[in-house]
Chains A and B, each alone.
Chain A
């Protein structure tokens, strides 16, 4: 993953609440087996409306999106984060995010910045014609007008974003600890391990629903 320390540039001044993952990328575009190319279908239902901000030339290619409460609610589809990344969005600023979406965004190098509603209102106003800056070093969002909003981020996520770390690689390095846990598991909760090779419902007790 590419390290991120700062995202700076124009921002879509949207502010919409409860933006769900079906709005970010409708389910019919999920039949892909790669991560690329979803940006063209992002916000399809919004873009069907005349004068929408996603087709406004002022914000074309903006790296920041400012939205309302509960951004990314709904499905677990990482395609929502892939679609945003594919359209060039590197940071989303909103009062709150769905837990699954913020995890997915983080894993794709997208910074999710939670700020109070009054800060969002101000950023929507400023972003209409000015750029914004999200800085992970200082943990602030700033505008050309001396606005300065401080945010917080899970320290582990912040480090991974800033250093561009591969989380799976990090966890695989803890193999000794995981193996030790599994030995304890086999002892304490032996019913968790399963025989692979499910034979089907010929097994006694099946067919009850």
Chain B
């Protein structure tokens, strides 16, 4: 009998072009997503060396990071200019480069435009068992469909454009198993925050995570995308979830998904991919779903996770001396005092969006909490759909009206307030309950203070004006 293999090993083996004596492999890349921020220097490199894009058909480009999320066309249908000259220059470079190299480009004003990690799955560009890369660390999100997907730097973007391959060493494998049933008011975001809290921000370094267990199986593709998206926050370059009937149902007849005989053949192969019984992971971690409460971060690393019923920790309570130093610095930056109940912390900003939580289910969860309530005085709340298709769907369901009536701003798709590269920023010293993925120093703007939360928890913070236990509002 053949040696039992993990999902990761099966995908890896199917993509080895050549194995070198030292064990590194030339790996074929099936899908390449390109955006405006990490690609200009790669195209410039190709141009300087007189090189072509090997497989434009496997490449798809869309702007997302620095596009403003305000209206993009005027009443007469004309494109509105981008005020920031550097953003405008980078966006123009993407348009020019994709035209020059023959790559499909989704324009800022196209109905399918959106965050690169939202549009890949929703267009069916992302496929199980494929290798998918993008010059963005949250590419790990696509692992939710069983694609081996990871972020790359600009030199690697250039390498993939020129050769459709990457020279890689095989990673170790780590199983993260979540057993049991999620409690009332607990979402996929709380699960991944709990996982990172447990394994730490470097817990998955050098590993590819595979998420398993009842909880993961029970999640929709949207929930799985939230989990896989934040694999990188646990140090893992990629996170995988085995494809199953939920995956196939999600992908069937999406615009770029295989059709007809190709679809049948693809599904048959995808069904062979899940990890074999008896296959070994280098590391295994198990969480019990009943231990997971609605969660959030208190500090400036995504591993600084606490339950909403908890309090700001005392830095002196950490055993590791370097962690004590880091915690003291974090609390100073965050303007928090040890022992303060998380639910007593007021917020001035709420951001519902980002590649972690801007899909239709996320917006539905937030809208449910917002219904019949109003954003608290002194709070600015933004809802930024992940793509034009999500926006259209939400509007068809009337979610935009719920948000507008509740005092939330309803914006155009993009990365928005996740990373302070466009006009949506949190001012210095102000605090934001954010559904994004990083609470780093200055991430949402210089001096900004971020608490990572689920969409429902973000909506709860918006209507109460402070970090709140969404379960109290759902009863």
Contacts and interface: CB of A to CB of B under 8 A. Distances in A.
Contacts of B106: 198
A98 B152 contact: no
Given A18-B201, A100-B237, A209 B102 contact: no
B44 A75 contact: no
Interface string A41-77: 0001100000000000000000000001110011111
B30 interface: yes
A104 B153 contact: yes
B167 A167 contact: yes
A124 to B, nearest CB: 11
A184 to B, nearest CB: 10
Chain A facing B: main interface SS:
loop
B8 interface: no
B235 A98 contact: yes
Contacts of B416: none
Contacts of B139: 76
A191 B263 contact: yes
18 contacts: A26-B420, A27-B421, A30-B38, A74-B137, A76-B139, A78-B135, A99-B235, A103-B153, A108-B155, A168-B49, A191-B266, A196-B57, A198-B106, A198-B256, A205-B255, A206-B123, A208-B254, A209-B392
A32 interface: yes
A209 B58 contact: no
Contact of B393 (A77, A192, A207): A207
Interface stretch (A125-133, A135-143, A144-152, A171-179): A171-179
Contact of B111 (A182, A191, A201): A201
Contact of B24 (A17, A156, A206): A156
A33 B441 contact: no
B471 interface: no
B57 A99 contact: no
A107 interface: yes
Interface of A: 15-18, 20, 22-23, 26-28, 30-35, 44-45, 68-70, 73-78, 81, 96-100, 103-104, 107-108, 154-156, 167-168, 170-172, 174, 177-178, 181-182, 185, 189-198, 200-201, 203-209
Interface string B106-130: 1000111000000000110001011
Interface in B244-287: 252-258, 262-263, 265-266, 269
Given A76-B153, A156-B20, A200-B110, A209 B359 contact: yes
A37 B130 CA distance: 37
Contacts of B30: 189, 192
A17 B326 contact: yes
A171 B167 contact: yes
B163 A76 contact: no
Contacts of A198: 60, 104, 106, 255-256
Interface in B47-87: 49, 51, 54, 56-58, 60, 65-66, 84, 86-87
A23 B60 CA distance: 30
A28 to B, nearest CB: 6
Given A27-B419, A31-B87, 12 more contacts: A22-B438, A26-B446, A33-B41, A74-B438, A78-B155, A100-B153, A107-B155, A178-B17, A189-B30, A192-B127, A200-B110, A209-B393
Given A18-B301, A192-B58, A76 B152 contact: yes
A191 B127 contact: yes
Q: Size range of the interface on B? A: 35 or more
B389 A209 contact: yes
B57 A194 contact: yes
B362 to A, nearest CB: 11
A76 B38 contact: yes
B15 to A, nearest CB: 8
B251 to A, nearest CB: 10
Contacts of A76: 38, 135-137, 139, 151-153
B258 A191 contact: yes
A30 B421 contact: yes
Nearest to B330: A18
B162 A168 contact: yes
A155 B122 CA distance: 40
Nearest to A199: B255
B404 interface: no
B303 to A, nearest CB: 8
Given A31-B86, A168-B51, A197-B104, A181 B163 contact: no
Contacts of B232: 74, 100
